[in-house]
Amino acid sequence: MKSVDYIIKADYLLTMEVDLSVIRDGAVAVTGSDITDAGTFQDISGKYTSEKIIDGRNRVVFPGLINTHSHAAMVYFRGIADDLPLQVWLEQHIWPNEMKWLSSEFVADAVDLACLEMLKAGVTTYSDMYFFQNTSGKQLQKIGMRGVLGSGIIDFPWKDVAETPDDYFTNCEELINAWKGNELVTPCVAPHATFTCSPDKYIRAKELADKYDVPLHTHLAETQYEVAECRKRYGKTPVEHLDSIGFLSERVSAAHCVWLTDREIEILAEKKVGVAHCIESNLKLASGIAPLPKMLNAGVKVAFGTDGAASNNDLSILGEMSTAAKVHKGVSMDATVVDSRTALLMATRNGAEIVGLGNKTGSIRPGKKADIVIANLDKPHLSPLYDIYSHITYCMRPGDIETVMVNGKIVVDKGRATTLDEAEVIEKAKAWQNKIQAT
C-alpha cells in the first residue's frame, strides 16, 4: 500500500464535485499539499496507509469555504459606524478613519485578526480588495492561508498609498511581480467602482491584468446611488458601462450586483463574469437585495462574500449561506430557491472558480490542493441529522469547525489556530481600538 501524509476519516464526506453526492463513512488521502484520493474509508484504507489518521466519527468533511469579497484589514473598524446609509458610512466615517490610520503596520495586524476569524470559521481562501497588499501577502505566508489579493485603484490620491493615480498601477505591478506563481498568494488588479474609477482606469486595469494573466475584481451595481451616478456620467447602467469599454470577461469577479436589469444579468452571463453575493453587508447598509435566483437561472456563476467586517459585521461564510438561503425564499415567496446544496456549492466550488482558483481548490478531488474542513456534528443544534447539506446551511456555526487544513497543513486543530497566537492577535486588536478611540 502507498504511504500518504494524512488519512482523514468522516461519517460524511462532501466532495462538492459535479453530482454533489454524500459519501457515508468517507475518507480523504493527503500527500504534501495535494489531495491524493477521496472515497469511502473502506476503499481508501485498502489502498493507502498513514501514520496520521484523523478520526472523523460524528464529523463531516467538506472543502474549505471561499470568501469571494472582503476588505480583510477593515476588521479593525468593526462596529465603528453602524446603522448608517452606505455613502454616509463610507464618506463620513470609514474613509476619514482609513486616511488617519491606514499603514503597513495597521494592515499586518488587522489581517492577522481577519485570517484568524475566517480560518476558525472554515474559510480557507479569501479574495480581497485593499491597499498594502504586499504586507497582506507576507502575513498569509506566515499564517498559511490562501488569498487572492487585489491592489486597489481609485481616481484620487490616498495618504501613504498613492501620491498620484498612476501610483496605484505601480503598486499593482509590484504586487504581481512579487507574488505571481506563489503557492498561496494570487495577485489581483482591483479598480474600486464606477463612481470612484474613471473609464481610463478600468481600461488600464484590464490591460494590466491581461498582460500578466491575473484576476480582476471590482464593486458593481451595489447601490441606487451608484446606478444613478453612472447613468448621469456615462448614460448607461454600471454593467452596460463596463461592457461598453470592454472591461467585462471571465477574468472579472464583481462584488454585490444588487441593482441589475434583466439585460445586465444577460450581459454578466454572456461575458462569464463571476458575482460575489454579499447579502449580509447589503442588508445592513440597506443597499438592497441582489436578484440571486434570477442570476442563477440565467447561468451567472455566483458565490458568497462577506464584504469587510466594518459593514457585516463578521467574516463568516456560514452566516452568508444561511442568510441568503432564507432571505431569497422570503423575498421570492418560493421556498425552493437557493436550496441547501446550491448554498454550499456557491460557498465552495463556485467561489473558487470565480476568483480564478477552480483548478486548485473548491472541491475535494485528486490533484487539487488539500484545503479541507472538518466540522463536529456532535452538538445539540446539529441533532438529529437527516440531511447533512441542510444542517451545514441552516444549523452550522463557526464554533462547530474543529480542524482546518490549507495546502496540506493543519492551521486549525481542535478549534485552535496553530500558526497564530490567538491571545496576541486579540491583544493587538484591543491596542488599536484604544488608539482609534482616543482620537
Q: Which residues span the domain enclosing 401?
A: 2-64+362-417
Residue 436 belongs to a domain: no
pLDDT class of 160 with cuts at 50, 70, 90:
confident
> Which of 91-100, 192-201, 260-269, 414-423 has the lowest average pLDDT?
91-100
Q: Which helix (H) or strand (E) holds 179?
A: helix 165-179
Q: Is residue 115 part of a domain?
A: yes
Please indicate, yes or no, whether residues 264 and 370 belong to a single structural domain of this protein.
no
Say yes or no: 95 and 133 in one domain.
Answer: yes
Count structural domains, the chain: 2
**Would residue 9 count as lying in a domain?**
yes
Average pLDDT over residues 193-214: 98
CB-based burial label for 103 (10 Å; 0-12, 13-18, 19+) = middle
Q: Is the pLDDT of residue 439 over 80?
A: no
Whether residue 258 contacts residue 222, with contact meaning beta carbons closer than 8 Å, is answered with yes
In a domain? residue 331: yes
**Cβ burial, residue 423 (10 Å; 0-12/13-18/19+):** exposed
Domain of 288, CATH number, reads 3.20.20.140
| Shared domain check, 204 and 336 | yes
Confidence at 438, pLDDT banded by 50, 70, 90:
confident
Asked if the structure places residue 133 within a domain, the reply is yes
| Domain shared by 59 and 125, yes or no | no
C-alpha distances in Å from residue 162, one per residue of 83, 153, 193, 319? 31, 9, 17, 35
Domain co-membership, 295 together with 168: yes
Span 123-142, pLDDT tens digits: 999 999 999 999 999 999 99
Share of the chain above pLDDT 90, in %: 97
Per-residue pLDDT of 407-424, as tens digits, reads 999 999 999 999 999 999
201 shares its domain with 244: yes
The answer to whether residue 429 sits within a structural domain is no
* Residue 94 DSSP one-character state: I
Distance separating alpha carbons of residues 386 and 391, to the nearest angstrom: 8
Record the cell numbers describing residue 4, joined without a space.
500518504
Phi and psi for 234 in degrees, rounded to 5? -120, -5
CB-count burial class (<10 Å; 0-12, 13-18, 19+) for 262: exposed
The verdict on 145 and 175 lying in the same domain is: yes
Q: Clarify whether residues 118 and 189 are in a common domain.
A: yes
User: What is the model's pLDDT at position 372?
Assistant: 98
pTM: 0.98
Look up residue 364 and give its amino acid: I
User: Is the pLDDT confidence value at 86 over 90?
Assistant: no
Three-state SS at 215: coil
- Whether the pLDDT of residue 84 is over 90: the answer is no
Distance CA 31, CA 176 (A): 29
pLDDT in the model for residue 90 = 86
Single-letter residue type at 173: E
- Tell me the β-bridge partners of 22: 14
**DSSP reduced 3-state for 59:** strand
* Domain end call among 354, 375, 404: 354
Average pLDDT over residues 198-226: 98
The predicted-structure confidence for 372-398, as pLDDT tens digits, reads as follows 999 999 999 999 999 999 999 999 999
289 and 222 in one domain? Answer: yes
Residue with the three cell numbers 498620484: 164
Read off the pLDDT of residues 333-370 as tens digits, 9 standing for 90 and up: 999 999 999 999 999 999 999 999 999 999 999 999 99
Kindly state whether residue 433 falls inside one of the protein's structural domains.
no
Asked if residue 185 belongs to a domain, the reply is yes
Is 41 in the same domain as 82? Answer: no
State the average pLDDT over residues 232-243: 98
**Half-sphere exposure of residue 352, counting CA atoms within 13 Å on the CB side?**
23
Which pLDDT band, with edges at 50, 70 and 90, does 159 fall under?
confident
Instruction: List beta partners, residue 302.
Output: 275
Checking if the pLDDT of 111 tops 90, the result is yes
